Structure 1
Amino acid sequence: MSGLEIIGAFESTYLPRHDSDIFESTAHDVHWKKDLDLLAGCGVKRLRYPVRWHRVEAEEGVFNWADTDKVLHYLRDHGFRSIVDLVHHTSYPKWLEGGFADPRFSSAYLRYTEEFAKRYPWVEEYTLFNEPFSTLFLTGHEGIWPPYQKGLDNFVAQVLNVLPAVAEASRAYADLLPGAKHVWVDTCEHHTGAGAGGSAYATMANERRFLVLDSFLGKHGGKGYDPHGPMAELLGEAGGEALQDLEPGRIDVLGLDYYAHCQWHFDDKGGAPNTPFPLPLAHQIYLYWDRYRLPCIVTETNIRGRTSDRATWFKYVLEQCERARQMGVPLEGLCWFPVIDSTDWNSLLFRNDGHIDPVGVYWLDQELARQPSVMSESYAKAAAGTPSKDLPAFTLGEPVATWLRGYEPQMSHWNWTEAPDADLGNSLPNTQTRMELRIVNAE
């Protein structure tokens, strides 16, 4: 027995510029009961499930909980245990025109979170803000998501606009939902470098990955970040010293989202995902646990590829989770994200054309019918307690084989099986495929 609980999830991110979300583009908003039946059929009853703030409060100050009531009550009444996700990436109401830089965000968010807690006092687990570091990095530092801001100063400004409200909500929930656990969810990163410039940048990035969570918890003697660390001077120039004055929030469980692109390699020419020198995931999990000493969950993982590629990556992540537990990490579970294919992540949600992402436990055909595969078989086996050593390892197809080349030494002890030709999935990446890094003008 692996001893790890397998957890489900459904992708829901809102695309403000298109007024659409992935619940709708995958028809989960219509077929949610069938999708939950698929999950239960795999033996999975614990799941991350989002509340769509952008639909609940489509008009400022007016809450419509009807759809949320249907699903959350169904989950509760049918024995599911939900980690309710209150803000998933850019899933804020469209009337917050400045997004996470909007000066109205704090009051609006706190009103929403309070209304939620009062309506659902029986909720047992919740995530107040999914991936705050990576979300605000994409909205405020890289200009990829609205409001399309760039640079460390804008990133810090958005962190200062969002984090105090999340911390206040976490403290309020200690009273509003006293028996429930706050599951903090963010990326699990590690970076490598070569050459003077690349090594220096990797050192900085390995410090930056902890910035938001350190600030939220008031680590480093309440200073939020290391005032003598590799980011101190940069943060001082960008207004980051204000991060040292935040009132800390509270966390019960540390959720770690891990993908192969969570490890970048930098050299003097720049950086690229899928480092040739990946640190084993078990060691990354240990590093985060050792820093924060909180119970952990791997709250997201997937890989874009054939269903057999997904099953192989699932075997790797499960094996690494087992090893992390052997290293003493109190790791509760593993969540493959999502249960069904998502859409439009190939353009990082810049476009809204319903392009199917080949990442789900179940894959979507062109009619959005949910299809089983070797991935759903492995997932169900793991949910029943099958350890990683008894799950199949399929030969990797391109471009996944190239993306994961650095992981080969960590997989060398496996007995490999030829990948099946059937049930490959939909919208498979070709050998030239790279996730777009779409930079757009705020205008």
Structure 2
Amino acid sequence: MSDTPWYRDDRLLYGVGIEDTFIPQEKPGHRKLDEYELTQHYARWREDLELVAESGAEFLRWGVPWYLVEPRPGEFDWSWTDQVAARMRELGIRCVVDLMHYGTPLWLENSFLNASYPERVASYGRAVAERYRDVWTDYTPLNEPVVNAEWCGQNGSWPPYLTGQDGFVKMVLQLARGMVRTQQEIAAVHPGATFVHVDAGFLFDGDTSPLPRDLLEERRFVALDLITGRVGGESPIRPYLEEHGVTDADLEWFRENAVTPDVVGVNYYPHFSTGQVDDGVWTPVDAGTRGLRALLEAYADRYDAPIIVTETSLVGTPAEKIAWLRDSAAELGAMRAEGRDIVGYTWFPFFTMVDWLYRFDQTTPDDWFMEFGLVDLRRGGDQGLERVRNEAFDVFHELARGARG
């Protein structure tokens, strides 16, 4: 077996991802949001994995539902994940495991704000790595920390329902501590593990408010800068963090416990990753491949690490998806030809997802279907969700197989 990391195969690797947001907490006006439940992945996971294998994808971003796997503190139920992991091994699917793709167990009081959160999530991550070390070697400690901090800490939409810049900073500090401790604990039991840290890339077009544009440009990197120990005395983000309670001791802890991603994952959606903020309201601006290139260059220059596009797709017709597939893949090819260390491309989500706004409504999941995928979901008379490939599936297969030579 080669000692060369899988992402150093000297070509662009193609993968897909299954949307795995889990927000189990409910309250009046806020219902449970579990994408696996809403898309029937819990019941149809075998078919879903077979479709992944048939697509030609060389890796899969897939998440563990923490709130179900650890229903009580320190007690684990592996009955479902054991089956999924075994089938992934049979199919030869490399899984980049999303350990935390939003949402905490119901028993964790105040969710991410709980004082024990960093150790709780690290303990869970260690347990997963110990149990599946023979099949899973690649981990994302936490997906999109800045988006997580916005929804949970700035906008008050998800637990623990904090608001404002003070809430954002409190959340991002907790999330970053959890990311560090999770990587440390996994590395302790699986020294050969690969860590793919995934951030949501945002580009800001025009003037912004209530925060100035230069601060927003820095804030998008805040979690990765914290976990890698980059926030020091001269950091432009430091005054903002200190204004909202971050201390010298906090920053020193991150510097002393700095972790390094093996790969930096960047998520980019052409229809809404670029936009203008006005009074806290985000207005999307379609930036196409121009935005994709600008974002990847920003992360590559800042972190000097291999870059994977860990999410990209769009809601549209199959023809529109095919156009984006070809255009975005060609842009990555051009960047690689220029010497940029771009190593992977992920179509995410692989099939239809349910809009997060479903949580705040009382209509059916079907009313909130978003057709991002290479595979569409169609409700049958038995209420089952049939998996139907669209034309973009074949084009993805063509690109993935072509990349293998």
Q: Helix, strand or coil for the counterpart of 1:369?
A: strand
The one of 161, 170, 173 aligned to 1:148? 161
- What's the counterpart of residue 251 of structure 1? 261
Shift in CA distance, 61/36, structure 1 to aligned 2, threshold 3 Å: same
3-state SS in 2 of match to 1:250:
coil
Change over 3 Å in CA distance of 1:271–1:39 after alignment to 2: closer
Count of residue correspondences: 377
CA shift for structure 1 position 37: 1.3
Deviation string for 1:95-134 (max 9, x for gaps)?
A: 1231211223123212211211211122221111111121
Structure 2 length as normaliser, TM-score?
0.86
Equivalence for 2:7? none
Counterparts of 1:339 and 1:134 in 2: how far apart (Å)?
Answer: 20
Matched, 1:376 2:386: no
Report the equivalent of 1:12.
20
- TM-score for both structures, normalised by structure 1: 0.79
Aligned pairs for 1:36-435 (under 5 A) are 36-90=49-103, 92-122=104-134, 123-194=136-207, 201-220=212-231, 223=232, 227=234, 229=236, 231-242=237-248, 243-245=250-252, 246=254, 247-260=257-270, 261-266=272-277, 271-274=282-285, 279-345=290-356, 347=357, 349-351=359-361, 353-354=364-365, 355-367=368-380, 368-385=385-402
Structure 1 counterpart of 2:5? none
Counterpart amino acid of 1:249?
V
Code of the residue aligned with 2:182 in structure 1: it is: A
- After superposition, the Cα gap between the structure-2 partners of 1:27 and 1:306, relative to the gap in structure 1 and judged at 3 Å, is same
Q: What's the secondary structure of 1:280's corresponding residue?
A: helix
User: Quick check: 1:257–1:300 contact (8 Å CA) kept in 2?
Assistant: yes
Q: Deviations over 1:122-167 (max 9, x none)?
A: 2221111111121112110121222221112112112222322321
Identity of aligned residues (%): 30
Aligned with 1:329: secondary structure?
coil
Paired residue type of 2:352: D
Given the superposition, is the C-alpha separation of residues 359 and 270 from structure 1 closer, same or farther in structure 2, using an over 3 Å criterion?
closer
Tell me by how many angstroms 1:277 deviates.
Answer: 9.5
> Counterparts of 2:115 and 2:281 in 1: how far apart (Å)?
34
With over 3 angstroms needed to count, the CA separation of the structure-2 counterparts of 1:270 and 1:7, relative to structure 1, is closer
Letter paired with 2:179: V
In structure 2, do the counterparts of structure 1 residues 37 and 240 end up closer, same or farther at CA, with 3 Å as the change threshold? same
Cα distance in 1, alignment partners of residues 379 and 202 from structure 2:
34
Distance 1:276 1:361, change over 3 A: closer
Deviation for aligned residue 1:265: 2.3
Cα 1:41–1:294 shift into 2, 3 Å: same
Residues in 2 aligned to 1:22 and 1:268: alpha-carbon distance in whole angstroms: 30
1:201–1:266 CA contact under 8 A, matched in 2: no
- CA distance in 1 between partners of 2:196 and 2:288 (Å): 30
Q: Distance in 2 between the 1:323 and 1:100 partners? A: 40
**Aligned partners of 2:400, 2:269: CA distance in 1, in Å?**
20
Aligned in 2, Cα 1:336/1:277: closer, same or farther, shift over 3 Å? closer
Cα deviation code 1:251-290 (max 9, x no counterpart): 1111111113121224689652226798431232122111
Q: 1:177 to 1:378 in 2, by over 3 A?
A: same
Tell me the CA shift for residue 48 of structure 1.
1.0
